[in-house]
Homo-oligomer: A and B are copies of this chain.
Amino acid sequence: MTEQTTLDLDEIFKALAHPVRRDMLYWLKDPERFFVEQEHQSFEIGVCAGKFDQRTGLSQSTVSAHLATLQRAGLVTSRKVGQWNFFKRNEETIEAFVRHLGEAL
């Protein structure tokens, strides 16, 4: 199997092995649909970590750990604005991963 150096397949598969993380990635596809409105910020810069706490009903630390796992795998990117962290899908990595799987599996 030829693995592109930009894809950390071990980390990506591990990240996707949890249903909550797959849901998070899915919700990020369409923030307007899956998250209630953000005050002061549009979804352009991403979805604030706190929105995932509300959506999942999980604790802040659990949500942080899930988001960190997604980020370590390169599936999301984050941006800090003030004290808040905003998350977006990393479409480039996601597309490369899906393409790779179609060829390699």
With a cutoff of 8 Å between Cβ atoms, the chain B residues found around residue A94 in the complex are 105
Task: Flag if B19 contacts A10 (CB, 8 Å).
Answer: yes
CB contact list, A90-105 vs B, under 8 A: 94, 97-98, 101-102, 104-105
User: Is the CB–CB distance between A1 and B13 below 8 Å?
Assistant: no
Indicate which residue in B16, B26, B98, B105 contacts A13 across the interface (CB closer than 8 Å).
B16
Q: How far is the CA of A10 from the CA of B20 in the complex (A)?
A: 11
| Minimum C-beta distance from A14 to chain B (A) | 5
Show 12 residue pairs from A and B whose CB-CB distance is below 8 angstroms, ordered by the A residue.
Answer: A9-B16, A10-B19, A13-B13, A13-B16, A14-B14, A22-B104, A26-B104, A26-B105, A97-B105, A98-B101, A101-B101, A102-B102
